[in-house]
Structure 1
Amino acid sequence: MTILTVTPNPSLDRTYEVPGLDRGAVLRADTDRVEPGGKGVNVSRAVYAAGLRTVAVLPLGGPEGEQLRTLLQDESIRVAGVRVAGPTRVNVSVVEPEGTVTKLNAPGPELTRDESEELLEAVRGEAARHAARWVACCGSLPRGLPQHWYAGLVARVHRAGVRIALDTSGPALRAALGERPDIVKPNALELAETVERPLLTVGDAVKAAEELRQLGARGVLASLGADGQLLVDSTGTYFGHAPVTSVRSTVGAGDASLAGFLAGGGAGPDALAAAVAHGAAAVQLPGSQMPRPGDLVGSAVAVTTDVPLDRPLRDTT
């Protein structure tokens, strides 16, 4: 099975670990690392770590884009890059000893209309070439792409007979719902933003997920952070969670969950169990490292149709 990923605004993620963060001072970092970044990129990394085939489709610009390509190829991930004029963005994270992270995210290049069309065609062509089972479209849209860009991509992928997962938020998510993506993956805050009201309990999240289905989503995989994960699709409503002994990094945990869900079949309780196992394993690994089969906590995952509707949500801010 091949899972194609689309990351319209990828990045190089540079992380500095410092003894302390003092504004206006000259700081000397203890460590400095550069990793491939972007939600779809992380999904590809997690899919490959799970032992499945993947192709990462993404715009690449300037020497930064070539470095991103090299980093992914060094991880044995196949890259289908679309050349764009603007340089790929570089995001910077500054990590303090107690774990506080200060992030500076660059806006990224502004894509032209021709570059936008080339990216859409690359997705269609690569999906056909590799007989992709799923296309996962992830992350924010770069400058130059309209908010309905994902909606057009969903329609184009569906016409090719391929299922599509969408992990984005705000107007881009709302615009795409009418094209009936097979699964959407908001977190609790994004789910609340889409239905335009606060979510205080798991039951509130269930109602919000049902509303997204009424708006067109065939399934909703909602990450509730430390409170677990929720799946509402045509097979039913399920709640899953797994104990986590220690949290080392939450970077990419949601992307790992989506990869697990798709690798687990993309529907129903077994897929949710795989999503929970991948997400719980990811938060116990450093940086944006993606879990391998030996890291998974499958035996500790609990999935039930007895959803704890009254349970308060903690991770909604």
Structure 2
Amino acid sequence: MIVTVTPNPSIDRAVMIEALHPGEVHRATANRIDPGGKGVNASRALAAQGAETTAVLPIGGPEGHLLEELLDHDDVPRRSVPVSGAVRMNISILEPDGTTTKLNEPGPDLDTHEVQALLEAALGLAGGADWIVGCGSLPPGVPADFYASLVMAAREREVRVAIDSSGPSMSAAMAARPHLIKPNNEELEELVGGDLATLKDVRDAARSLVDAGIEIVAVSLGQDGALLVTSDEVVHAHARARAPLSTVGAGDCMLAGLLHSLTQGLSAADSLAVAVRWGTAAVALPGSGVPRPEDLRDVDVTVDTSPSLTYRLGH
């Protein structure tokens, strides 16, 4: 089972328009709402593919009740932690070419007891977990070392931990040495303090983190696919979305596919292929929709275990 921990979940409202013009009135061509937050999206993707998962998240306010209803609709098992503040509402503005503009609220202010309850809820599921995954931003009141505490406590219980976050919370988690991290290119640049223009740059940056004690670094590269680096492997995989609609949640689906495949005993190359297939399929769905098995059938993934490291990103 894969347990996801999302300290700052959301209701994701996607609004589709013809073109975004700041300062003007727009008429939506379509809209939808989905459960949101990185870990929530990962659990939704896993549940959609029939994999065992439990989402751990704080729930508060009328938005929290709506979030639980949406998760029930998607058949996502959850462990809800009651909090006094309301779950945030995020808005994504989607244009026909796939361009996405996001407006994210900060989230509720959690007190010390609520933070501890969230941590205990996640660790209470450790006995049956293959992975515990800490995902996303931290709401007000949650200390920057939250994910670091999660990593250390999970390690004591001999459970593998993956972290997908950014900023101070990611830096703190790195010091605790999670087994796997999934930064995107910009987040990796932030971690290593430099520009990463080529696959070699990404490989070298990821390897420096592996040398520092991270077993697997999986870097999502948008249209350039993903690069997975371990102490003895470098794998690049990419696929092309035929009709991109929204990038929201695609990286979360990628992480879900990667962890599910590793849990099933697949190789690094095969696991990354699955991950990129899930992520690419998500891009072809509206809002923060997650792929079901039928959405994966037409996604062709190219995998290279000896990639051309001179390849320039974004070209």
> Taking structure 2 as the reference length, what is the TM-score of the superposition?
0.93
Equivalent residue number for residue 244 of structure 1:
241
CA distance in 2, matches of 1:31, 1:6: 31
Matches within 5 A, 1:272-287: 272-287=272-287
CA distance in 2, matches of 1:305, 1:98: 31
SS in 2 for 1:164: strand
List gaps (5 residues or longer) in structure 1: none
Whether the 8 Å CA contact 2:254–2:275 is kept in 1: the answer is yes
Matches within 5 A, 1:58-137: 58-96=57-95, 99-128=98-127, 131-137=128-134
Matches within 5 A, 1:203-282: 203-265=200-262, 268-282=268-282
SS in 2 for 1:141: coil
CA distance in 1, matches of 2:154, 2:8: 19
Task: State how many pairs are aligned.
Answer: 312
Q: Please list the CA deviations of residues 8-37 of structure 1 after superposition, one character each: whole Å capped at 9, or x if unmatched.
A: 000011223345656566554343322111
SS in 2 for 1:264: helix
Distance 1:64 1:206, change over 3 A: same
CA distance in 2, matches of 1:176, 1:269: 26
SS in 2 for 1:51: coil
SS in 2 for 1:311: coil
Moved more, 173-182 or 200-209: 173-182
Equivalent residue number for residue 302 of structure 1:
302
Corresponding position: 1:46 with 2:45: yes
CA distance in 2, matches of 1:155, 1:115: 19
Which residue identity is paired with 2:89?
A: V
SS in 2 for 1:265: helix
Distance 1:159 1:276, change over 3 A: same
Whether the 8 Å CA contact 1:247–1:283 is kept in 2: the answer is yes
CA distance in 2, matches of 1:202, 1:97: 29
Distance 1:25 1:76, change over 3 A: same
SS in 2 for 1:247: coil
Corresponding position: 1:186 with 2:183: yes
CA distance in 1, matches of 2:218, 2:99: 28
SS in 1 for 2:262: coil
Corresponding position: 1:55 with 2:29: no
CA distance in 2, matches of 1:302, 1:24: 42
Whether the 8 Å CA contact 2:94–2:245 is kept in 1: the answer is no
Moved more, 194-203 or 156-165: 156-165
CA distance in 1, matches of 2:93, 2:236: 35
CA distance in 1, matches of 2:171, 2:255: 19
> Taking structure 1 as the reference length, what is the TM-score of the superposition?
0.92
Q: CA deviation at 1:300?
A: 2.6
Which residue identity is paired with 2:10?
A: S
SS in 1 for 2:86: coil
SS in 1 for 2:125: helix
Whether the 8 Å CA contact 1:281–1:297 is kept in 2: the answer is no
Which residue identity is paired with 1:84?
A: V
Distance 1:20 1:294, change over 3 A: closer
- Report % sequence identity: 48
Q: CA deviation at 1:213?
A: 1.5
Which residue identity is paired with 1:146?
A: P
CA distance in 1, matches of 2:285, 2:146: 34
Corresponding position: 1:141 with 2:138: yes
CA distance in 2, matches of 1:99, 1:258: 21
Equivalent residue number for residue 11 of structure 1:
10
Q: CA deviation at 1:67?
A: 0.8
Which of 181, 192, 197 is 1:195 aligned to? 192
SS in 2 for 1:165: strand
Whether the 8 Å CA contact 1:178–1:217 is kept in 2: the answer is no
**Consecutive aligned runs of 4 or more in structure 1 exceeding 6 Å deviation:** none
Whether the 8 Å CA contact 1:273–1:298 is kept in 2: the answer is no
Whether the 8 Å CA contact 2:200–2:309 is kept in 1: the answer is yes
Q: Please list the CA deviations of residues 24-64 of structure 1 after superposition, one character each: whole Å capped at 9, or x if unmatched.
A: 66554343322111010000011011111111100011111
Whether the 8 Å CA contact 1:42–1:255 is kept in 2: the answer is yes
Q: Please list the CA deviations of residues 74-127 of structure 1 after superposition, one character each: whole Å capped at 9, or x if unmatched.
A: 111111110111110111223345654432211111111111100000001123
CA distance in 2, matches of 1:225, 1:111: 33
List gaps (5 residues or longer) in structure 2: none
Moved more, 19-28 or 268-277: 19-28
SS in 2 for 1:72: helix
